[in-house]
């Protein structure tokens, strides 16, 4: 039996609170993905500064850089469980304040870290430690931000409100790419490699302080307030937490449903620059332009996809995206590899690749939110997303780089994206629609018991 699906259950009659929640939830997510984007775009520079001892090869350094990248993702589920449990007990607001402080501090400190040339083997360990802190805080960010956005969303608008979480992913990655491209234009290669790479990380400090101010002004969500007060008569969501086995099944299903989004997203939007440089001999500037185009395509479809999912359902929109990646990943990559492909056609190819991923990313947050009741929503949707990203996003660069090195096949990124999206499509076929307000927790609970659930 599929895990029960849950809706918002409470109406929000103050639009300004909904808009404030949307902004406060989005801004932390922007900073998180700005930093992860910067780290991915500067992977080759970071490899040279932190992971290249005397006698080490550039390929080995890049693999170690992506290993550090993956390590941060593997701490996301830990953060999702730790901060999610806290958020389900004490509230969304205080935990979201805590995670933005941790993320801002860790990212800013990366900008002042000594390199391998200065402190030797201590440098990669210090960098890895800060990446762990980032992973923990990022794990607590998603569940809280999506809970706030969807629990404050007006009736019938959870897909639209949740899509802003994914839209700020695109904005964050675009911000990171823009910062990298600007520095590559203004600075010489020597300046960029020496000290210029630090500037995007240091820029996180003022952004983080702004995000902290917004979250300090955030109200607690109506759903959590009702749950905490035990006002079952006023809040149809205020039900006992479902059995742990049921929650675990929902988490596994949720992770499967977003694995294609996670893998294809990082393949096309973050790993692409290093792949183009290392495998297709593109320049740093060319790789960044391609990445910007991919992220523009991603951003262009996210909010329309979320809005469409409020009208026709989460499943058809996300399933379309997963199937399109499965079918088109190899042909799109072959266009990039072909020396006869025009610049305009290559640009169109990466734009389309990003746009297809946006079809999955737009409805994804609302879909995950509706799978869990208020009492376990922060933890459940955060873990589903974090586990999927830990395995299929965090390892994307490492898997792709290492497999290309071993096999010599430059088609590996396309195979990786297509395979994960094929599995995601199968998981999405099991999804039951819960986009309407009629799909409240009490109705779903009654259906679950009638079907023989515990």
* DSSP letter string, 185-218: HHS-HHHIIIIITHHHHHTHHHHHHHHHHHHHTP
Q: Which residue has the tokens 């079918």?
A: 327
Quote the pLDDT of residue 58: 61
List strand residue ranges (DSSP E) for 132-195, in order.
none
C-alpha to C-alpha distance for 430 and 1, rounded to whole angstroms: 9
Token pair, residue 55, equals 């006698």
Query: In this prediction, what percent of the chain has a pLDDT beyond 90?
Result: 39
C-alpha to C-alpha distance for 178 and 359, rounded to whole angstroms: 23
Q: What is the DSSP letter of 316?
A: H
The answer to whether the CB of 134 falls within 8 A of the CB of 59 is: no
Residue 14 has pLDDT above 50, yes or no: yes
Identify the weakest region by mean pLDDT among 120-134, 168-182, 391-405.
391-405
Residue 138: closest CA among 82, 203, 199, 222: 82
Q: Write the pLDDT tens digit of every residue in 342-375.
A: 878 888 988 999 999 999 999 999 999 999 988 8
pLDDT class for 54, splitting at 50, 70, 90?
Answer: low
407-429 b/e (C-beta count within 10 Å ≥ 16 → b): eeebbbbbebbbbbbbbbbebbe
Q: Write the pLDDT tens digit of every residue in 179-222.
A: 887 888 888 878 888 898 899 999 999 999 999 999 998 888 88
The answer to whether the CB of 366 falls within 8 A of the CB of 159 is: yes
Q: What is the DSSP letter of 450?
A: H
| Residue 89, C-beta contacts closer than 8 angstroms, at least 6 positions apart | none
| Residue 281, C-beta contacts closer than 8 angstroms, at least 6 positions apart | none
Residue 70: closest CA among 399, 380, 381: 399
| Polymer length in residues for the chain | 454
| CATH superfamily name and code, 15-450 | MFS general substrate transporter like domains (1.20.1250.20)
Quote the pLDDT of residue 436: 64
- DSSP H stretches of helix in 313-395: 314-337, 343-361, 364-369, 374-392
The helix (H) or strand (E) run that includes residue 284 is helix 284-312
C-alpha to C-alpha distance for 84 and 368, rounded to whole angstroms: 14
Residue 12 has pLDDT above 60, yes or no: no
Other C-beta atoms closer than 10 Å to the C-beta of 438 total 8
Domain boundaries, the chain: 15-450
pTM score, whole prediction: 0.81
Quote the pLDDT of residue 453: 40
Quote the pLDDT of residue 368: 94
Quote the pLDDT of residue 131: 87
* DSSP letter string, 73-101: HHTHHHHHHHHHHHHHHH-HHHHHHHHHH
Q: What is the DSSP letter of 424?
A: H
Token pair, residue 113, equals 């870290």
| Residue 148, C-beta contacts closer than 8 angstroms, at least 6 positions apart | 21, 24, 25, 92, 93, 96, 218, 221
Query: In this prediction, what percent of the chain has a pLDDT beyond 70?
Result: 85
Residue 383 has pLDDT above 80, yes or no: yes
Measured at the CA of 41, the angle between CA 325 and CA 330, to 5 degrees, comes to 20
How large is the average pLDDT for residues 68-96?
A: 87
Quote the pLDDT of residue 450: 43
């Amino acid at each position: 039996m599929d895990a029960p699906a849950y809706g918002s259950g409470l109406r929000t009659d103050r639009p300004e609170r909904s808009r404030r929640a949307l902004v406060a939830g989005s801004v932390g997510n922007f900073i998180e993905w700005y930093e992860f984007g910067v780290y991915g775009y500067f992977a080759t520079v970071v490899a040279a500064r932190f992971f290249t001892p005397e006698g080490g090869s550039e390929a080995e350094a890049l693999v170690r850089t992506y290993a550090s990248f993956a390590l941060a993702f593997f701490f996301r589920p830990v953060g999702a469980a730790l901060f999610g449990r806290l958020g389900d007990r004490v509230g969304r607001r205080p935990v979201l304040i805590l995670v933005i402080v941790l993320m801002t501090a860790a990212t800013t400190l990366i900008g002042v870290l000594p390199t391998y040339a200065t402190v030797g083997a201590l440098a990669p360990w210090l960098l890895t430690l800060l990446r762990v802190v980032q992973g923990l805080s990022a794990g607590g960010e998603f569940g809280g931000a999506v809970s706030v956005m969807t629990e404050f969303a007006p009736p019938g608008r959870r897909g639209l409100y949740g899509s802003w979480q994914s839209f700020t992913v695109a904005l964050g990655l675009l911000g990171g790419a823009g910062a990298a491209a600007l520095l590559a234009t203004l600075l010489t290669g020597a300046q960029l490699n020496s000290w210029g790479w630090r500037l995007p990380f240091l820029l996180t400090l003022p952004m983080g302080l702004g995000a902290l101010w917004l979250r300090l002004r955030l109200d607690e969500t109506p759903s959590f307030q009702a749950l905490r007060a035990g006002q079952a008569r006023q809040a149809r969501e205020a039900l006992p937490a479902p059995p742990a086995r049921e929650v675990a099944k929902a988490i596994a299903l949720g992770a499967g449903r977003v694995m294609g989004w996670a893998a294809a997203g990082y393949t096309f939007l973050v790993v692409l620059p290093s792949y183009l440089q290392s495998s297709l001999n593109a320049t740093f500037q060319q790789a960044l332009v391609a990445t910007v185009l991919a992220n523009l395509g991603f951003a262009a479809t996210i909010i329309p996809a979320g809005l469409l999912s409020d009208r026709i359902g989460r499943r058809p929109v996300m399933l379309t995206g997963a199937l399109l990646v499965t079918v088109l990943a190899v042909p799109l990559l072959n266009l990039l590899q072909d020396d006869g492909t025009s610049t305009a056609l290559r640009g169109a190819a990466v734009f389309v690749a990003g746009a297809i991923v946006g079809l999955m990313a737009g409805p994804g947050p609302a879909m995950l939110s509706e799978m869990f009741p208020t009492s376990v929503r922060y933890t459940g949707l955060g873990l589903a997303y974090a586990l999927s990203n830990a395995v299929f996003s965090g390892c994307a660069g490492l898997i792709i780089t290492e497999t290309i090195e071993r096999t010599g096949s430059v088609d590996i990124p396309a195979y990786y994206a297509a395979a994960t999206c094929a599995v995601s499509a199968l998981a999405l076929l099991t999804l039951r629609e819960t986009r309407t307000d009629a799909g409240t927790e009490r109705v779903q609970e009654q259906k679950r018991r009638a079907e023989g659930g515990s």
